[in-house]
Amino acid sequence: MDKQDKLFEAFRKNQHKLEEMPAPQSWDRLRHRLDNRKKQAPIRSISRLLSMAAAIVGLVVLVTAVVTLSNPTKRQARNAQEVPASSSSVLQKAIAEHTYRNHHQLALQQGVEEGLPTKLLVSKIATRPLLIPKKKG
């Protein structure tokens, strides 16, 4: 469309007639906003500093957590060292009992095969059954 249209020209020529000083309160409102901006500026910078500090602390915590979790062998080794010897033997005993109970249950369900004549089924106190070779002679 032609920008030189007479109608458009007429508007361009007369648009300055719309210029007008706004109400006097307008300046007061603008000045008030500008003053508030000055007061808010230090508060804004303090809150920015605090949020930056919080972000850094958060990052450090996150990195520490990731490093600790990604290195379980060290942790486990440390835990193992921390466990006293007496608790270790109690734990081993509990595991052995649990395994025996499981094997026993399985044997009751499936039945026990005699196996080779050269082998003898012997039960051992407080441990699981073991197949040991029959002693010759």
Partner 1 sequence: MTEEAIIQGCKQDDPKAQKAFYDRFAPKMFGVCKRYIKRYEEAEDLLIEGLFKAIDKIDSYSGNGSFEGWVRRIVVNECLMFLRKKTPLSVSIEVHPTDAPTNQNIEDDLAAQDILALLDQLPTGYRTVFNLFVIEGYKHREIAEILEVSINTSKSQLILAKKRMKELLEKLEYLR
Minimum CB–partner distance for residue 55 and partner 1 (Å): 26
36 versus 71: smaller Cβ distance to partner 1 = 36
Minimum CB–partner distance for residue 72 and partner 1 (Å): 52
Measured in residues, the chain has a length of: 137
**d(Cα 115, Cα 106) in Å, to the nearest integer?**
17
37 versus 98: smaller Cβ distance to partner 1 = 37
Helix, strand, coil % over all residues of the chain, rounded to 5: 70, 5, 25
User: Are 134 and 118 within 8 A, CB to CB?
Assistant: yes
38 versus 74: smaller Cβ distance to partner 1 = 38
Chain contacts with partner 1 (rule: CB under 8 A): 1-3, 5-23, 26-27, 29-31, 33-34, 37-38
